Amino acid sequence: MSFDLIVKGGTLPNGQTADIAIAGARIAAIEPGITAEAGRVVDASGNLVAPPLVDPHFHMDATLSYGLPRINASGTLLEGIALWGELKPLLTHEAVKERALAYCDWAVSMGLLAIRSHVDVCDDRLLAVEALLEVRKEVAPHIDLQLVAFPQDGFYRSPGARENTLRALDMGVDVVGGIPHFERTMADGTRSVTALCEIAAERGLMVDLHCDETDDPLSRHIEQLAYETQRLGLGGRVAGSHLTSMHSMDNYYVSKLLPLIAEAQVAAIPNPLINIMLQGRHDSFPKRRGLTRVKEMHAHGIRVGFGQDCVLDPWYSLGTADMLDVAFMGLHVAQMSHPDEMRRCFDMVTSESAAIMGLDDYGLAVGKKASLIVLDAGDPVEAIRLRPERLCVVAAGKVVAERDRQQARLALPGRPRTVARRHRAPTARQE
């Protein structure tokens, strides 16, 4: 018996040490001490071996456009949307595709191998849709790219948005998107949730709405999303992204709302890096945190995945394609400091987000697609603390990225000459 690749001696997220044998694009065995021959052996001893990082909320049509045609001076969501509106007529198919492919290279280097990207359909040319459909095909050997038809300027507010949403879905876009809090009235927002869920039900698609991304405690479109999910039998296929208004809602109302979301099996996708930056901009002090109620949703059995949302675009001037940065910020803003909670933050950028995206082929198990990452960390919590090097990234059985540990040379008398760029705990590995 021989395999194409064996990843030897790594520590799995559950703490077990095992070898992972890969044949073709599939995981063939996971057990300690595999002695069979292999085309290549990757030594992962002492390092965490995990399934790939997953980003369930991104905007690949806007990424890497920071500064085009100008920067967002106020830093608000609404100026970001206005700025994107200025950039949209200037976009070209080639430029959108080139930026998206450049971002996908960053993603692979960081072990981010599954991305759900919204794509704006409010430009009648639908050139971003065409460009990202081409990107989806080109990166398919190494990235699961899922596209959401996103009427950025409002399903009812923007003329042609309904028709363009349907056209995009006809062209092969995977998921139905929306933005009810950006419609002209609460009533239009409610109607848009119903219409979008009905489109998804008719076509057998998933739904992922930008939902209540506002500090207004009375923005309650998530209630309608849970209702329509249940009415149309869409449970398990629907996500509400952002849900930041829930941060500011009345506690009594939330005590009624959370069981309804759980009952409807609607998932939540908070985006901590972006919302800690965008929300609370109209507050003086104290300033509200820009995050929905993550721990409370967990307590009600609601599935939650952390999304990245933006990298270098009209809404966010930073970003690195590292989902561990997202987990790190989410952990802090949601105050998830218990070891079980920290561990959960790792799941929210890996397995929980994969489940929200419906990626049935994901995970470290025999028979699954052989995609994994080797991290310079001892366990998932240390991975969040260090946000370390991705020493090796394997996509569908192929090594697609490798990197050495980075070290600093110290020039101190009597001290070790080199230390790691980020310091692993002594119990995990000697520096």
> Which residues contribute to the site for Fe ion (CB under 5 A)?
309
Nearer to Fe ion, 270 or 363 (CB): 270
Write down the catalytic residue from 213, 223, 382, 389.
Answer: 213
Closest CA to 354 of 150, 52, 30: 52
Separation of alpha carbons 379 and 88, rounded Å: 43
Q: Nearest distance from residue 123's CB to Fe ion, in Å?
A: 17
Q: Nearest distance from residue 417's CB to Fe ion, in Å?
A: 46
Q: Nearest distance from residue 93's CB to Fe ion, in Å?
A: 22
Q: Which amino acid is at 416?
A: P
Nearer to Fe ion, 120 or 309 (CB): 309
Nearer to Fe ion, 153 or 379 (CB): 153
Contact 117, 59 (CB under 8 A): yes
Strand, helix or coil for residue 360: coil
By Cβ distance, which residue is nearest to Fe ion?
A: 309
Q: Nearest distance from residue 119's CB to Fe ion, in Å?
A: 11
Separation of alpha carbons 227 and 229, rounded Å: 5
Contact 47, 418 (CB under 8 A): no
Contact 232, 198 (CB under 8 A): yes
Separation of alpha carbons 130 and 122, rounded Å: 13
Q: Nearest distance from residue 381's CB to Fe ion, in Å?
A: 28
Nearer to Fe ion, 28 or 333 (CB): 333
Closest CA to 344 of 63, 334, 386, 192: 334
C-alpha count within 13 angstroms, C-beta hemisphere, residue 257: 23
Catalytic (active site) residue 202: no
Separation of alpha carbons 258 and 268, rounded Å: 11
Question: Backbone phi, then psi, for 91, in 5-degree steps?
Answer: -70, 145
What's the gap between Cα 159 and its chain centre?
Answer: 30
Let me know the angle formed at the C-alpha of 390 by 386 and 396, rounded to the nearest 5 degrees.
140
Nearer to Fe ion, 309 or 382 (CB): 309
Nearer to Fe ion, 179 or 257 (CB): 179
Contact 196, 207 (CB under 8 A): yes
Q: Nearest distance from residue 395's CB to Fe ion, in Å?
A: 25
Active site amino acids:
213
